[in-house]
Amino acid sequence: MACRAVFFDIDGVLTVSWKALPGAADAVRRIREAGLAVAFLTNTTSRSRASIGAALRSVGVGVADDEIITAAVIGAAYLRRRHPGGRVHLLNSGDVAPDLDGVPIAGPGERPDAVVLGGAGPEFTHEALTEAFRHVLDGAALVALHRNLYWATDDGLALDTGAYLAGLEQAAGVRASVVGKPAPEFFRAALELVGVEPGEAVMVGDDVAHDVLGAQAMGLTGVLVRTGKFREETLAAADAAPDHVVDSVADVPALLVPAAADTAAEWSGG
Residue-range domain boundaries for the chain: 5-43+182-261, 83-178
Identify the band that residue 258 occupies on the pLDDT scale cut at 50, 70 and 90: low
Instruction: Determine the pLDDT at residue 97.
Output: 86
Domains 5-43+182-261 and 83-178 share a fold: yes
Identify the band that residue 259 occupies on the pLDDT scale cut at 50, 70 and 90: low
Whether 208 and 242 have beta carbons less than 8 Å apart is answered as: yes
158 beta partners: 151
Instruction: Determine the pLDDT at residue 252.
Output: 96
Give the distance from CA 139 to its chain's centroid: 28
161-219 pLDDT, tens digit per residue, is 999 999 999 999 999 999 999 999 899 999 999 999 999 999 999 999 999 999 999 99
Instruction: Determine the pLDDT at residue 152.
Output: 85
Whether 140 and 114 have beta carbons less than 8 Å apart is answered as: yes
Whether 88 and 110 have beta carbons less than 8 Å apart is answered as: no
Closest CA to 76 of 189, 195, 237: 189
Architecture of domain 83-178: 3-Layer(aba) Sandwich (3.40)
The pTM of the full predicted model, rounded to 2 decimals, is: 0.85
Mean pLDDT of the chain: 92
Q: Give the SS3 label for residue 211.
A: helix
pLDDT at 266 over 80: no
128-173 pLDDT, tens digit per residue, is 999 999 999 999 999 999 998 998 888 899 999 999 999 999 999 9
117 beta partners: 91, 144
What are the residue ranges of helices labelled H in the chain? 24-33, 49-58, 71-82, 126-137, 161-172, 184-194, 214-217, 232-236, 252-261
Instruction: Determine the pLDDT at residue 50.
Output: 94
pLDDT at 55 over 90: yes
Counting residues of the chain whose pLDDT is more than 90, the rounded percentage is: 84
Higher pLDDT, 167 or 265: 167
DSSP letters for 174-199: ---EE-STT-HHHHHHHHHHHT--GG
CATH class entry, domain 5-43+182-261? alpha beta
Identify the band that residue 7 occupies on the pLDDT scale cut at 50, 70 and 90: very high
83-108 pLDDT, tens digit per residue, is 999 999 999 998 888 898 889 999 98
Instruction: Determine the pLDDT at residue 268.
Output: 40
Higher pLDDT, 258 or 22: 22
In angstroms, rounded to a whole number, what is the distance separating the alpha carbons of residues 203 and 238? 17
Arithmetic mean of pLDDT, 72-81 = 92
